[in-house]
Amino acid sequence: MSLSGGWYLTLAAVLFGIGAVGVLVRRNVLVMFMCIELMLNAANLTFVTFSRMLGDIGGQVVVFFVLVVAAAEVVVGLGIVVAIFRRSTSTVADDLHVLKG
Amino acid sequence: MRVALLIASASLHGGIAMPHIAYLAILPEIVMLGGAILLLAVASLVRSALNVTVITVSTLVISLASLAAALWQFFDVQSHGAYTTLDHAVVLDGFSVLVTVLVASAMALTALVGDGYQRREGLAGPEFNVLAMVSATGAMLMGEANDLVIVFLGLEILSIALYVLAAFNRRRAESGEAALKYFLLGGFSSAIFVYGIALTYGATGTTNLTQIADFLAKNVVVSDGLLLAGLTLLLVGFAFKVAAVPFHMWTPDVYQGSPTPITGFMSAVAKAAGFAALIRVFVSSFGVLRVDWQPIIYALAVVTLLVGAVLALIQTDIKRMLAYSSINHAGFVLLGLEAAGALGKVGARGVSSALYYLFAYTFMAIGSFAIVSVLGGRGDAAHEISNYKGLGKRQPFLALAFAVLLLSQAGAPFTTGFWAKLQVVAAAVDANSVPLAVIAMVSAAVAAFFYLRVVLLMYSPKKFVSDQEGDRLENLDASGDAVASTSAREPLWSGSGRQTALVNELNATLLLESSPETIEVPDEREGDVVNVPVLAVVAIGICIAVTVGFGVFPAPLADFAHKASLLFMP
């Protein structure tokens, strides 16, 4: 049994939606962080699917670039999280309130 | 990505075909990034810690070398014309050269301002400059990207370095918080951007900007949902980066919390790079779809112009005010982009007016934030607008410089700010967007009010007591003389419930009014007069020279901007 590309695209769209909603509604920094990763991976899945559908290897190569960038982002992001939450005990974004906004 | 395709297909036949690389096209990036890595390596290999002076001087040398490479590019483009290289992933044209020049100059100025900042805050090590240079490399790459993947890589190189720079001052809680906000929203916008690239790739079969333009010119996309969704997501990603309303929420917080020289760098470079890539992607690749995107840009421009100007009015923190003013400026650049959607000469004029605006804004923003940085005092905290009261008396030169830069931002004649506003508005009128031009003028008038407010405050006499604020200042002043330390002061104000704010205000008042003993900074003799580092003076002087010089003699810069046409103009 084989699935058509549309299913993969739909799955990617759903994952992207879950990620986007997660970033907007969840208040825990680490969860927000994971949601961003989910969005990036949804984009990767879309790239691979289109790459297969179009018969073009380019889309799969893009995924490597995105993976590398995502890894770099994780390194920096976790560094910032650790640096900030050394001061406080929780990782809830609402606990940060020095800057009004 | 045809590079990959070429390599893949060639490897089937035994050999690997390497794309031709014209190294001149990426020379400024190579110099900047190579210099940054070299500086980092040398700093970690030498036995003793590198002196701040050594680091600043090497950063300056690297930035100026990069600038020289960009000028070499300029003459090359003028004599041989524009071209693409690296298998069409990178383009060298007048547009990319101007962005590179802008970024390299901004980097040099930031190094000058950052020198004094690092000494004052006691930040040792080369990382401050190295990260800024890496970030500048990303910005240059965005300016000459001819492939959505390269745009994305440039965007991320720029942003990731900026996240770290925002958090650079570990002693300030605001700095970390700003970095986290910037990081979360920046990551969110990048993810949206990548998804936009994915959908565009699905709809057109390529990520190369030229090939997308070819595809759209030759094919009629019947069910264009995928393409338009991709286009919208790309626009949202860009709008986050350039801080266009309604994607501007992070800007005031991040600008306020970041170290002030970095705020200047961020406002100039991230905005310029974001707009450069936005203009190139939308005008050269999606030019065919202008009917679809022009109204969106129109709407974005309207809300950005109005929200930026109105919200700047009610700020009490100078950095937040300048943040909203930068949002307002983004609206003006969007005006140029909206005009760039028009066909032919009018469109080209829109592109060059937007670039001119970015160029003028870079020097105004870096100069303004340099002055704010100097006046921030140790701890980079004294940023209340009320601190600027009487600055004209205390530090006449600094006040004059700030007044000139603010007036330029407001669009006063004989400054680049005036010509920049004139050009984008004229371009909008040419493109038949007269209502938008009118809204821009209204927003400029509103914006002039908050710039002039600061200017008037600087030149108002110290004991100018006419409003409630003045009375409160007087009261605080009296109590400030009576008590010596913050802890002793607190009981006096505990009833108000807004202790922190009041104590801040009190500190600010003390800085402004009190005798030298109550100030903890030993190297300032007069208490309220801050020490202005020589290099910061040089940086501010350059910004003023550019702003006023090209304001009085606008021809050379306007000419430069007009030569900055895109290689692919449909």
In terms of domains, do B89 and B107 share one? yes
Residue B517 lies in a domain: yes
- The share of chain B scoring above pLDDT 70, in percent, equals 84
- By the 8 A CB rule, do B133 and B36 touch? yes
- Average pLDDT (B418-443) is 91
- Worst-scoring range by mean pLDDT, A78-87, B268-277, B455-464? B455-464
Q: Closest Cα of chain A to B396: distance in Å?
A: 31
Please tell me the predicted confidence (pLDDT) of residue B467: 47
Q: Which residues contact B317 (CB under 8 A, 6 or more apart)?
A: B256, B383, B384, B385
Q: What is the pLDDT of residue B362?
A: 93
Using alpha carbons only, how large is chain A's radius of gyration in Å? 17
State the pLDDT at residue B4.
Answer: 55
Give the pLDDT confidence score for residue B347 in this predicted structure: 84
Which chain A residue's Cα is nearest to B315? Answer: A100
Mean pLDDT, range B374-387, rounded to an integer = 83
Which among B195, B249, B253 has CB closest to A43? B195
According to DSSP, residue B135 is labeled H
Of residues B484 and B194, which shows the higher confidence score? B194
Q: Poorest-confidence range of B56-70, B104-118, B500-514, B537-551? A: B500-514
Same structural domain for residues B478 and B337?
no
Is the peptide bond preceding residue B246 cis, with omega within 30 degrees of 0?
yes
Confidence of residue B510 (pLDDT cuts 50, 70, 90): very low
pLDDT tens sequence across B184-226: 999 999 999 999 999 999 999 899 998 998 898 888 777 788 8
Q: Is A28 helix (H, G, I), strand (E, B) or coil?
A: strand
Tell me the average pLDDT across B444-459: 90
Q: Which two tokens stand for residue B378?
A: 């140790």
Amino acid (one-letter) located at B87: D
B183: nearest CA partner in chain A = A77
- B491 and B560 together in one domain: no
Position B12 confidence tier, pLDDT thresholds 50, 70, 90: low
ω into B28 cis (within 30 of 0): no
Could you tell me if B383 and B256 are in contact, meaning their C-beta atoms sit under 8 angstroms apart?
A: yes
- B378 and B514 share a domain? no
Average pLDDT, chain A: 87
Least confident of A1-15, B8-22, B79-93, B468-482: B468-482
Mutation to test the B interface, candidates A40, A54, A56, A94, most B Cβ within 10 Å: A56
Residue B70 has what pLDDT?
A: 93
Q: What is the pLDDT of residues B71-84, one digit of tens each?
A: 999 888 888 888 88
pLDDT bracket for residue B152 (50, 70, 90): very high
Please give the pLDDT value at position B360: 92
Residue B528, pLDDT score: 63
> For the CA atoms of chain B, what is the radius of gyration?
24
Contacts of B4 in chain A (CB under 8 A): 57-58, 61
The residue-averaged pLDDT of B220-234 equals 86
> What pLDDT score does B569 carry?
58
Asked whether residue B64 falls in the same domain as residue B209, the answer is: yes
- Report residue B472: phi and psi, to 5°: -65, -40
Residue B227 contacts residue B203 (beta carbons within 8 Å): yes
B195/A46 CB distance under 8 A: yes
Which structural domain, as residue segments, surrounds residue B129? 23-460+529-564
In chain A, what are the domain boundaries?
Answer: 5-100
The dihedral of CA B140, B286, B435, B427: what is its sign? positive
Q: What is the pLDDT of residue B149?
A: 94
Contacting residues of B for A20, CB less than 8 Å apart? 188, 191-192
Chain B hits for A44, Cβ within 8 Å: 198
Split into its structural domains, chain B has a count of 2
Per-residue pLDDT, B19: 80
User: Quick one: pLDDT at residue A96?
Assistant: 66
Question: Lowest mean pLDDT: which of B85-99, B428-442, B552-566?
Answer: B552-566
In a domain, B147, yes or no: yes
Interface of chain B against chain A, CB under 8 Å?
Answer: 1-5, 8, 149, 152-153, 156, 160, 163-164, 167, 170, 173-174, 176-181, 183-184, 187-188, 190-192, 194-195, 197-199, 201-202, 205-207, 249, 252-253, 256-257
Rounded to an integer, what distance in angstroms lies between the CA atom of residue B427 and that of residue A93? 43
Q: What is the pLDDT, as a whole number, of residue B15?
A: 67
Topology at the third CATH level for domain A5-100? Helix Hairpins (1.10.287)
Q: Is residue B12 part of a domain?
A: no
**Averaged pLDDT, B163-185:** 87
Residue of higher predicted confidence among B545 and B558: B545
| Residue B331 counted as domain residue | yes
Same domain membership, residue B493 and residue B453: no
Q: Tell me which chain A residues have a C-beta less than 8 angstroms from the C-beta of B177.
A: 84, 96, 98-99
Residue spans of alpha helices (H) in B167-270: 173-204, 209-218, 225-242, 250-257, 260-265
Residue B147, SS3?
A: strand
Residue A16, token pair as written in the block: 């992207």
Residues B491 and B518 in one domain: yes
From B176, B190, B207, residue closest to A62, measured CB to CB: B207
* Contact (CB, 8 A) for B143 and B96: yes
DSSP bridge partners of B71: none
Q: pLDDT tens, B315-332?
A: 889 999 999 999 999 999
**Of residues B105, B145, B156, the one with CA closest to residue B278:** B145
Whether B5 is in a domain gets the answer no
Instruction: Report the residue of chain A nearest B198, measured CA to CA.
Output: A47
Residue B7 is assigned to a structural domain of this protein: no
Taking residues B386-407, what's their average pLDDT? 88
Assess if residue B8 is contained within a domain.
no
Band (pLDDT 50/70/90 cuts) for residue A94 is low
Does residue A66 have a pLDDT over 80? yes
Chain A partners within 8 Å of B236 (Cβ): none
Same domain, residue pair B322 and B175: yes
Residue in B5, B176, B207 nearest the CB of A84: B176
**Other C-beta atoms within 10 Å of B61: how many?**
15
- The ipTM estimated for the assembled molecules is 0.92
Structural domain includes residue B3? no
Please name the member of A54, A57, A76 whose beta carbon is closest to the beta carbon of B163: A76
Please provide the DSSP assignment of B57-97 as one string.
HHHHHHHHHHHHHHHHHHHHHHHH--EEETTTTEEESHHHH
pLDDT at B526: 40
For testing contact with chain A, the best of B195, B256, B327, B500 (most A CBs within 10 A)? B195
pLDDT band at B289 (very low <50, low <70, confident <90, very high): confident
Q: Say whether both B447 and B534 belong to one domain.
A: yes
**Between B395 and B155, where is the model more confident?**
B155
Tell me the average pLDDT of chain B. 83
